[in-house]
Structure 1
Amino acid sequence: MISGWLVFVGAAAVFTLQARSCQTNEFTLSDGQCCPTCNEGMKVTEDCMIDSGTRCGPCETGTFMNKPSGLKYCFPCTVCHLGDGLFVKEECKKTSDTVCEALTGYFCRSYSDDTGCSLADKHSSCKSGQRIKEAGTTRNDTVCEDCRQGYFSSDGVNCTLWTNT
């Protein structure tokens, strides 16, 4: 009788583990039931039941969902702050986040293919006695170099030959 009980418990444990192994287009409820995921741009408004599928609703304005999921919320859209040297390159949509880019005069310090630039700094200025070797871009800071012997730069832009007058 005891060995029959152990076999039954073992079978129940195997069944539970199998029920928790949902397919890639499904998510697991707390009771182990598998439910279909909602599509991009949607969130779960009601979990599935034995006799009905998952109910989905659109992401609210200012939020997005960029992949099928079983989440009951959408992600907040990234904000591109002008004061941080960023502007909106692509607006947030229900299926994709905002893409930010560095303003003119700034370069991107932190870049992601999904959200673009998330951290920008002003281009460096070259000092007196230096010139701009490479102008700053949205991806790179200004590169400065010292003027060669016999040349000077008071503005940090170009080097000029010393002259005797």
Structure 2
Amino acid sequence: MLRSTTRHMKMHLFMLFAFIVLASAQRRCDQDIEYEKNGECCKMCAPGTRMLRTGSCDEPRCEECGENDYQDTYTTDSKCKRQPYCDPNRNFNRTTHMSKTQETKCKCKLGFHCSSTECITCVPHTVCPPGKGATTEGSHSQDTVCEECPDGTFSNESSWSGVCKAHTKCENDYHIKEAGTSTSDNICEMNSRSHVIGIVLGVLCGIIFFLGIAGVIAYRMKGGAEGNFKEFKNCLNPTGAGEKEPLGEVKVIANPAEEESMLHPEEEGPMVSTPEENDDSQSLDTSLVLGYTFNGQPVQQDMTKTEQLSQEESQSTNL
């Protein structure tokens, strides 16, 4: 019994050893880049190409994929895969296929998402009405998710991407005139005292501003008046000297008879004469004698005293 058991064990060990030897003698093919043909491991064509049937096992003939085709793995296929057509009539963006090793994914237009997992067509996103905001904004693969605006927030528009906004907080010197709701914001109003102070400050600033403008206008008008006066003065005095010209030498014409008696006293002889008083018309005529300056300007001079002195000298000469 013991001998038969030992014999069976030796048999099993021999068979296991033989199986191991046979398995190690046979070469296994790399399933990613090779394929088995007639017990041999043959090479496959690389991604982006297709295999032609005229090649050998070790040196296959591969050709690049054509336009709008692709191949994303090592292959023995003689045809490449076709790129998908992104139809704009189904709300897809127009796509240019640039890769020959990857499949182009069609993308929905902005505001649209795939209608199913296969993404055969695109449908518009859900629009959140006023009072609701988007918690999850719509994308290429999913729709917009809307929710009611919580307390302290609002939304006053219809949008698939708009979110609820916080109510405005009134600053200092302001109070809430009308409280906001889920569809409207807070309305702030200035406090009455601050409102009056603001009005007073505005009035004062306006007065100061207008006074400044009035001062500038008055200053310019004053300067203009002085300039006009100087121009008028220069017109009256063409020489521009601004000073009175001195009177020239006045030539006095005396009475011809008296002048003759003064020059020739011996011809008349001794005689006593009394001075005769001139009437008013003569006094008026002789009191004003016309003379001229060097510039030719007429000058009047009182000659009454000069005439009286001439008469007295004439009397003393006759005596």
Q: TM-score range by the shorter chain?
A: 0.5 to 0.7
What does residue 66 of structure 1 align with? 72
CA deviation profile, 1:5-63 (whole Å, cap 9, x unmatched) = xxxxxxxxx89xx57x422321234x45432111121110125436x621111112221
What does residue 160 of structure 1 align with? 183
Unaligned 5+ runs, structure 1 = 1-13
* 1:93 counterpart SS class: coil
* 1:121 counterpart SS class: strand
What does residue 137 of structure 1 align with? 139
In structure 2, do the counterparts of structure 1 residues 32 and 120 end up closer, same or farther at CA, with 3 Å as the change threshold?
A: farther
Q: What is the TM-score normalised by the length of structure 1?
A: 0.61
In structure 2, do the counterparts of structure 1 residues 86 and 142 end up closer, same or farther at CA, with 3 Å as the change threshold?
A: same
Which of the pair is proportionally richer in strand? 1
Matches within 5 A, 1:85-104: 85-88=91-94, 91-104=97-110
Which residue identity lines up with residue 28 of structure 1 in the other structure?
E
Correspondent of 1:25 among 9, 16, 33: 33
What does residue 10 of structure 1 align with? none
Unaligned 5+ runs, structure 2 = 1-21, 165-181, 185-319
Structure 2 distance, partners of 1:141, 1:48, is 51
Structure 2 distance, partners of 1:40, 1:72, is 12
Structure 1 distance, partners of 2:92, 2:112, is 8
What does residue 52 of structure 2 align with? 45
Which residue identity lines up with residue 49 of structure 1 in the other structure?
S
Which residue identity lines up with residue 43 of structure 1 in the other structure?
R
Which residue identity lines up with residue 44 of structure 2 in the other structure?
T
Structure 2 distance, partners of 1:66, 1:59, is 11
Structure number with higher relative contact order (C-alpha < 8 Å, ≥ 6 residues apart):
1
Q: What is the TM-score normalised by the length of structure 2?
A: 0.35
Structure 2 distance, partners of 1:110, 1:90, is 23
Q: Which has the larger radius of gyration?
A: 2
* 1:35 counterpart SS class: strand
Q: Percent identity?
A: 24
- The total of aligned residue pairs comes to 141
Structure 2 distance, partners of 1:25, 1:75, is 18
Structure 2 distance, partners of 1:92, 1:28, is 33
